[in-house]
Structure 1
Amino acid sequence: MIKKNKINILKKLKDRDILYQITNQKKLFKILNEQNINLYCGFDLTADSLHIGHLIQLFTLKYFQELGHKPIIVLGGATSLIGDPSFKLKKRKMNSIDIINIWFHKISIQIKNILDFNCGKNSAIIINNYDWFYKINILSFLRKIGKYFCVNHMMNKDSIKNRMINNEINGISFTEFSYNLLQSYDFAYLNKNFNVILQLGGSDQWGNITSGIDLIKKIYNKKAFGITTNLIVKNDGTKFGKTEKKTIWLNKNKTSPYKFFQFWLNIPDSLIYKFLYMFTDLKSEIINNFKKKKNNIKKNSPQYLLAEYMTKIIHGKYSLILAKKITNILFYKNIKDLSENDFSILLKNINNVILNNKKFSLQKILVLSKFASSRTQASKLIESNSIYINNKKISKISFIFTEYHKKFNHFTLLRKGKKNFCLIYWS
């Protein structure tokens, strides 16, 4: 008998624009309303940090956990040695097992800040698929598992087909081609040993997930299910990936809380309401009220609300306070009103260049600050009126810094455009 008061998690995910694809929806809906289940999501260890593209999966696991379901996170110590070819135009870099083990511990800490690992029966757990793959004999694996996979069928999966079409010269290695078998076996192993019946992943994982469902059916004659979520994309429509430039990492040493806060603060109006639904648990009434109100004050904007919400969840209350303070110093305070302590805070938390008291041209400092790749490019930036010193526009290519430009004898605030800052510290 279906419990009428049970929250329809599938409808909630769809309403919040999270749900992308689902297998056997009616059957899964019935199971979720009658019992708590074990579900899993896998993350390969291809960097020392997760990024915001992973947050939708983690938040979705959190939704399930809050309803009593048990989330299991598989960190791919084994599959990371192979590399998932899904929708990648070139082969992933292969890393050593020692590096992957270090990344395993770092990423585990990030996940533990989001999911609950101490709430009884549905406490989250993290496991490493290397723990079962390193014991497997290759001949045994090919005989027992490989026989269930049809190469013709695998070749027709979009993740493989796109790689073959877009990269005819190098194609795809057998190592990467076998990834589909390994992820499918993960699902089967978890189904047998942890009673996992649902796998969650990004929309690029659909082929791997359905292969796992088919394998469970063939080996154990059991029903399993899959859900994929919408991918998070940048303004130009491209995916936020770990190998792309301007990736927003969850590790504060790779993306500072200030930059993290600024990312959400600068979400365009065309995406902000979509992101509020996807990333927060705010009620639709609150989000709809923002749509009705046109507020020109940045601190009262939906972007500011999202930036506060996300920064607090990922980096904590103190980091949020610091990020807001830095934002206030850079964007709302007059340069004349900045204290020495304000500059000291900026020095620790934004890009900076430390120089001796020799004379430096603006061109050279633009290169040192990485605002320009060469003196020629630096000159073009100055000529285009894009450069500011202590919030005053500089248009002279021959500009030379003097004592006048050093606040409290040590600090000069350099800006490119409206939002790119670098603090010069004169030692």
Structure 2
Amino acid sequence: MSAFKSDFLRIMSERGFIHQISDESALDQLFAKETVSAYIGFDATARSLHAGSLIQIMMLHWLQQTGHRPIALMGGGTSMIGDPSFKDEARKLLTPQDIEDNLVGIRRNFAPYLKFGNGPGDAVMVNNADWLMEINYVNFLRDVGRHFSVNRMLAFDSVKLRLDREQSLSFL
């Protein structure tokens, strides 16, 4: 499709944000007819975002400018444990205060680009710590942990390398 009906996809295309789209016509119709909510997640592992995050922030900006609802999902909970980056060394765990300080700094990164509030055209910022910190450990292991295969993890080169080097390899 060369000419989008929706302002959002047209602007994204004009600015080079789009490489491929699944069901382009249906997505264009959705953006043209309805208010769409979309999120992008940001971890709180540093006091500000790196330059590479500007592309995602600009996508949220244009989403808001064209009448849709952007959601900035802050990773306060996931930053407590890190993510499985499959690097060959363990990530340094941050303190809750470090994470909160990082979240304060990161929120400032959004100010020039997004208007947050409770109105229909306002962006929303949510922190996954608000629900992740409430998860019960035993329920998590029973309901989620059973879907993770140690065999599959051992197949990753980064895991093999850490085991070969006798480096720490934890559940996190």
Q: How does the TM-score come out when normalised to structure 1? A: 0.34
Q: Deviations over 1:340-381 (max 9, x none)?
A: xxxxxxxxxxxxxxxxxxxxxxxxxxxxxxxxxxxxxxxxxx
Structure number with higher relative contact order (C-alpha < 8 Å, ≥ 6 residues apart) = 2
Is the CA contact (8 Å cut-off) linking 1:85 and 1:92 kept in structure 2?
no
1:131 equivalent in alignment to 2:130: yes
- Please point out which of 157, 162, 167 is paired with 1:165: 157
1:67 equivalent in alignment to 2:80: no
Is the CA contact (8 Å cut-off) linking 1:85 and 1:91 kept in structure 2?
no
* One-letter identity of the residue aligned with 1:168: K
**Residue 19 (structure 1) aligns with:** 18
* One-letter identity of the residue aligned with 1:59: M
Q: 1:84 Cα shift?
A: 2.2
SS in 2 for 1:168: helix
Superposition pairs of residues 13-412 of structure 1, within 5 angstroms: 13-19=12-18, 22=21, 24-86=23-85, 88-118=87-117, 120-146=119-145, 149=147, 151=149, 155=152, 164-166=156-158, 168-170=160-162, 173-175=170-172
Q: CA RMSD in A?
A: 3.0
Q: Deviations over 1:126-151 (max 9, x none)?
A: 1211111111102222334445x464
In structure 2, relative to structure 1, the CA distance for the partners of 1:123 and 1:49 (3 Å cut) is: same
Is the CA contact (8 Å cut-off) linking 2:6 and 2:29 kept in structure 1?
no
Q: 1:81 Cα shift?
A: 1.4
Q: Deviations over 1:148-182 (max 9, x none)?
A: x4649x949xxx97xx224523166431xxxxxxx
Q: Deviations over 1:31-67 (max 9, x none)?
A: 2222011111111011111121110000000111111
Separation in 2 of the partners of 1:83 and 1:56?
23
Separation in 1 of the partners of 2:66 and 2:34?
10
Give 5+ residue unaligned stretches, structure 1: 176-427
Give 5+ residue unaligned stretches, structure 2: 164-168
SS in 1 for 2:39: strand
**Residue 166 (structure 2) aligns with:** none
Aligned residues: 164
SS in 1 for 2:62: helix
In structure 2, relative to structure 1, the CA distance for the partners of 1:129 and 1:174 (3 Å cut) is: same
Is the CA contact (8 Å cut-off) linking 1:61 and 1:71 kept in structure 2?
yes
Separation in 2 of the partners of 1:65 and 1:120?
12
Which structure shows the higher helix fraction?
A: 1
**Residue 349 (structure 1) aligns with:** none
* One-letter identity of the residue aligned with 1:73: A
Q: Which has the larger radius of gyration?
A: 1
Separation in 2 of the partners of 1:20 and 1:85?
27
**Identity fraction in percent:** 34
Q: Deviations over 1:56-82 (max 9, x none)?
A: 000000111111111111111110012
* One-letter identity of the residue aligned with 1:13: M
* One-letter identity of the residue aligned with 1:95: L
Q: 1:6 Cα shift?
A: 3.0
Q: 1:26 Cα shift?
A: 4.4
SS in 1 for 2:40: strand
Separation in 2 of the partners of 1:42 and 1:141?
22
Q: How does the TM-score come out when normalised to structure 2? A: 0.77
**Residue 390 (structure 1) aligns with:** none
